Structure 1
C-alpha cells in the first residue's frame, strides 16, 4: 500500500495521542477551572497544598486552574451550584468532621458531594504544653484527669482541632470511666488565639501544629512563650515518610517520640488513636463522572512521574495519592471510626 503524506500525518497524530492519554482528552474539560478550598487563608496548609496540585494538574491537562480561598461554607455553596465541572474543591478531614460535630454549613460530604482522590497529608497536627508545665507527657495528663484535676485544652471547636481533644476524653473514659469529665475544652478561634490562651494561663494544653508551633519549642525554657510537644496525632508510618531533618530544630526521630506507639492515647484499650490530616478533592455530585475520571487519571500519572512528591515534601506534606475508589473506602472508614469516638463521649448514637 502506498503511504501518502496525509496517511503519514494521520499515523503520527494517532501515535501522539496514544503517547499522551491525558492531553488527548483535555479538550473535553472546561478550559478554566476554579478550585475552591475550605480555607480563607492564602498562607495556610490548605492553600499551599492546593496550589501544588493545581499547578501540576494545569500542566498535565493543559487547562487553567485557579485556587480560590473562599472558606468552607462558600466553597460548598460554589461546588453545589456548578454541575458543569468548572468548579472543584480541595479540603481535608474537616469536611466530614464538621458534619459529625454538627457544625452549621457542613452536610455529609459522602451524600451531598462526590468524594474524589486524596492528594496529600499534613502530618503536623499536635498538642503542646507550656515549657514549664508539670505535665511531661500525655500519660501525665491522663493520670491527672484520673486523679481529679481539671485539664484545660484550647481548641477551635468542630473539626480537625477538636478530634484530638475528643480522643483525649475518649482515652480518659476507656482508662478510668468518669475521668473524661476532667478533660475540658477552652473554645477559641485561630492558632494565634490558642497560643494566647496558653500564654494567658487560660489553657494547660493547646492544639497546634508542627508547622505553626515548632518555633516556640526552640525558645529558652524561661521564655513566657516557650512550649513543648506532648502529642503528635499522625500515624508513625506517615511521620516516617517526613524528611529525616524534620522541621526547624525538631528532627523526624524527635517527632516520632511524640507519636504512637511511643506516646500512647488509647482508642479502645487495645490500639492507639491516630489521626492524619488528609487533603482530598470534592466534586459536584451531578457532575459528569467522566470529568472526575479524567482528573483522577491525570493525578495518577502525575504521582507516577514523581516530581510532585518532591514539591510536597519540601513544604512538609506527605504525598498521598489514592484513586477515587480507594479514597472513598479509606475516608469512609476514617469517618466511621471518628464518628464512634465522638458518639461515645457525647452519648449520642
Structure 2
C-alpha cells in the first residue's frame, strides 16, 4: 500500500510539473527575437521613442527580445510584406493610412494589405506655430487672412500627419470663404529642422511642428529670430488633459490647453471642429498566425493593467491609449474615413 501511495504521489508530482509546461508551450506563440520595424528612419523621433517604451515592456512580459529598427516607412512596409512568421512586426502611426489617402508613393491601403493591430499611445504634441511677432495669433486669423485674399504659406511634410492639419485649415477657408482656399499655400519640406528653417528665413508664415521639438522656441523673447508662438494643437482637449500637470519643458498642461478646442477652433463643418490625435499602433503581415496577435494583445492588456507603463509614457509626454486589435481595427477605419472626407472635399 505504501508503495502504491508513493507511486501515486510521484505520478501526481510529475503531472503537476508537466501540465504547466504543456500550458506554456500551447501559449508560447512568440519565440526568439522579434524585430520591430518602424515607419521612421530617425532614432531620435517620437515613433522610435514610443516604440521603444512598448517594446521593452513586451520583452519583459513575454520573455522575448523585441528590438526596434528604424528603417523608414517604405522599407518597413516592404519588409513586413515578406515576413509572415511573426519574427518581424511593424509599429507606425496615422501616417500609415493618411499617406494612402494623400496618394503618397509607397503607401498602400493598410486595412487591405496588412492586419491592423492594437493601439498603445498618443503623441498629443502635433502643433502649428508662427513667429512670435506674427499678425496671426489664432487659426481663425489665418483663415480670415486667406479669405481676404492674402497668401498664407504653411510649411509641412506632405502626405501624412504633418499635412492633415493644413488640410483642415484649407477646408475651413473653403467653408467660410468659398473659392479662397487656394490662398493657403503648402511649402513642402522634409524634417522638422527644415520646417523650422523656413520660419527663421521668413519663407513660411506658419509651420507644422511638435510640442516636443518646438516648445523651446516659444520661450525665446519676441525679438529673437527663432522665437515662435503656438498657434494651434490639433489634439483633443481630453487628450491634453491626461498629460502630467507639468506639461512639456517649461510649458504646463494648463498652458497647452489654451491652444486646443474650445479655446481655439478650426471649423470642420456640421457644427463640428477639427481635432486630430496622433496615435501609434501595430501592423502585422496578412498571414500572421492569429495566436501571435492574440499573444501580443494579451501581453499588452496585462502591461496596461499593471499600471507602470502609463507612468513611463506620460513622463515622455505620451498619452496611454491601449485598444486591442479588434477594437483598434474598427476605430482606426472610422478615423480614416472621417479624415478622408476632408481630403476628398479639397480634391473636388
TM superposition score normalised by structure 1: 0.95
1:295 aligned residue: 296
1:10 aligned residue: 15
Deviations 1:272-318 (A, max 9, x none): 10000000000000111111111111111111111111111111000
CA distance in 1, matches of 2:68, 2:321: 20
Shift of 1:12: 5.9
Deviation larger for 56-65 or 24-33: 24-33
2:34 aligned residue: 33
Deviations 1:116-142 (A, max 9, x none): 000100000000000110111111111
Which runs of structure 2 are paired with 1:122-133 in the superposition (5 Å)?
122-133=123-134
Shift of 1:176: 1.7
CA distance in 2, matches of 1:25, 1:132: 63
1:313 aligned residue: 314
CA distance in 2, matches of 1:24, 1:244: 44
- Cα distance 1:120–1:41, how it changes in 2: closer, same or farther (>3 A)? same
Gaps of 5+ in 2: none
1:56 aligned residue: 57
Shift of 1:83: 1.1
Determine which structure has more spread, i.e. the larger CA radius of gyration: 2
2:91 aligned residue: 90
Q: Secondary structure at the match of 2:171?
A: helix
Q: Secondary structure at the match of 1:248?
A: coil
Q: Secondary structure at the match of 1:335?
A: helix
2:160 aligned residue: 159
| Contact 1:26/1:62 (<8 A) preserved | no
Are 1:113 and 2:114 an aligned pair? yes
Deviations 1:65-93 (A, max 9, x none): 11111000000011000011111000000
Q: How many residues align?
A: 343
Q: Secondary structure at the match of 1:4?
A: helix
Which runs of structure 2 are paired with 1:249-288 in the superposition (5 Å)?
249-288=250-289
Shift of 1:59: 1.1
Deviations 1:114-171 (A, max 9, x none): 0000010000000000011011111111111111111110001110100000000011
After the TM superposition, list the runs of 4 or more consecutive aligned residues in structure 1 that deviate by more than 4 angstroms.
Answer: 23-26
Gaps of 5+ in 1: none
Shift of 1:97: 0.5
* RMSD, matched Cα: 1.6
CA distance in 2, matches of 1:171, 1:25: 54
2:46 aligned residue: 45
Q: Secondary structure at the match of 2:36?
A: strand
Deviations 1:203-260 (A, max 9, x none): 0000000000000000011111000001000011111100111111211111111011
2:217 aligned residue: 216
CA distance in 2, matches of 1:13, 1:320: 38
CA distance in 2, matches of 1:261, 1:17: 55
Q: Secondary structure at the match of 1:208?
A: strand
2:232 aligned residue: 231
CA distance in 2, matches of 1:256, 1:12: 56
